[in-house]
Amino acid sequence: MKKIGILTGGGDCPGLNAVIRAAVRTAVHQYGWECLGYLDGYRGLALGETTPLTYDGVSGLLDRGGTILGTSNRDNPFNFRCADGELRDLSGQALDNLARDKVEALVVIGGDGTMTGAEQFRELGVTLIGVPKTIDNDLLATDYTFGFHTAVATATEALDRLHTTAESHHRLMVMEVMGRYAGWIALHAGLAGGADVILIPELPYDTARVAEAIEQRRRWGRNYSIIVVSEGVRPRSGQLITRGVVADSPDPLRLGGVSSLIAAELEQWTGVESRCVVLGHLQRGGRPIPFDRILATRFGAQAVEALAAGESGKMVALQGNDIVCVPLAQVAGKQKLVAPDHPLVAMGRGLGVCFGD
């Protein structure tokens, strides 16, 4: 092997640049390979838009947020919206671009949608290794994805700040975090930030149950409460709250805004003044914390090592303290959700945290 390609797909995430840096440095230093970056995820692969990646060129990326390659969560080469507005299968064109660029293997960095695309390209004979990325931590087969701990740290710091204003004004503070249909960020940040109520998608909530927990706190002399809400939560009898639909996206529903509804409902139920805060993209931006820098570096280096060992069609994953390779077929199109009896949920209940169920 003489040349590999690298692309980053899906949403941006702290640690993407650290993966690129590790993959390029390992490929160049250890094996003398040339590296080529495809711009804006699968879009660059489909349209042949590239940039060279050199050892010197990735210097200084370890702590830099975002991705120097750009990314996209809409462009699917197998169902690509072209300039004329028509949807076409450009997977064959993508294969032609790989041949033209003399790229013999790919390192594909992304979440569920990106890994699904990688599995499709594997079926077409492309040699590739996947690297799991998402702040939602909802990919199967890996204990953690890089970016998750940075998002949790951001959310926890926000909760620390909300505590003081909630206590001073005797209010309910409802903070909404990302996660889509998985409650990992809400669960971890809620426990780390001392939340009184944690609402996650895996446990449909009852507003009356949440109001009861708040009233119990008031009887104990605690005249404020902190509530963490995952964007994908839904009431036991009700619909998922969305803020729009993007028709050409792999996951067209745009979640967000449920915290405003919950804050208003709880104010009516309890009579306590309520405020809501939506962290949004603050969780996805900025510099990765040390844990994610190390994990991203391990993933990037191991992806190249796997290619050198002849592996293909697999994703690197953290299991315990080890980085292993698992078949993409076990990951693509699947989600890792919070089990109702997860140890952290059980521990939270024992601490008196209300989960609204």
The whole-angstrom separation of Cα 56 and Cα 214 is 56
The domain boundary residue, chosen from 285, 317, 345: 285
My answer on whether 10 and 33 are in the same domain is: yes
Both 118 and 239 in a single domain? no
The parent domain of residue 171 ranges over: 149-285
- pLDDT digits 0-9 by tens, 19-38: 999 999 999 999 999 999 99
Mean residue pLDDT of the chain comes to 94
CATH code: domain of residue 312: 3.40.50.450
Asked if residue 180 belongs to a domain, the reply is yes
For residues 137 and 144, give the distance between their C-alpha atoms in angstroms, rounded to a whole number: 6
pLDDT tens column, 159-187: 999 999 999 999 999 999 999 899 999 99
CA 188 to chain centre: 14
Asked whether residue 204 falls in the same domain as residue 275, the answer is: yes
| CATH code for the domain in which residue 234 is found | 3.40.50.460
Q: Is residue 346 part of a domain?
A: no
For helices 148-169 and 290-308, what crossing angle results, to 10°? 160
Q: What's the number of domains the chain is made of? A: 2
Task: Give the residue numbers annotated as catalytic, written as ranges.
Answer: 136
Kindly tell me if the per-residue pLDDT of 99 is higher than 90. yes
Residue 342 lies in a domain: no
| 163 and 59 within one domain | no
Which runs of E-coded beta strand occur in 133-286? Answer: 172-177, 197-199, 225-230, 242-245, 253-255, 274-278
pLDDT tens sequence across 204-221? 999 999 999 999 999 998
Average pLDDT value for residue range 51-64: 96
pLDDT of 121 strictly over 90: yes
The answer on 195 and 122 residing in a single domain is no
* Residues 212, 264 within the same domain: yes
Q: Say if 337 falls within a structural domain.
A: no
Same domain? For 187 and 118 the reply is no
In a domain, 352, yes or no: no
Encode burial over 186-199: b for 16+ CB neighbours within 10 A, e otherwise. bbbbbbebebbbbb
* Per-residue model confidence as pLDDT tens digits over 316-353: 999 999 999 999 999 988 899 999 999 999 999 999 99
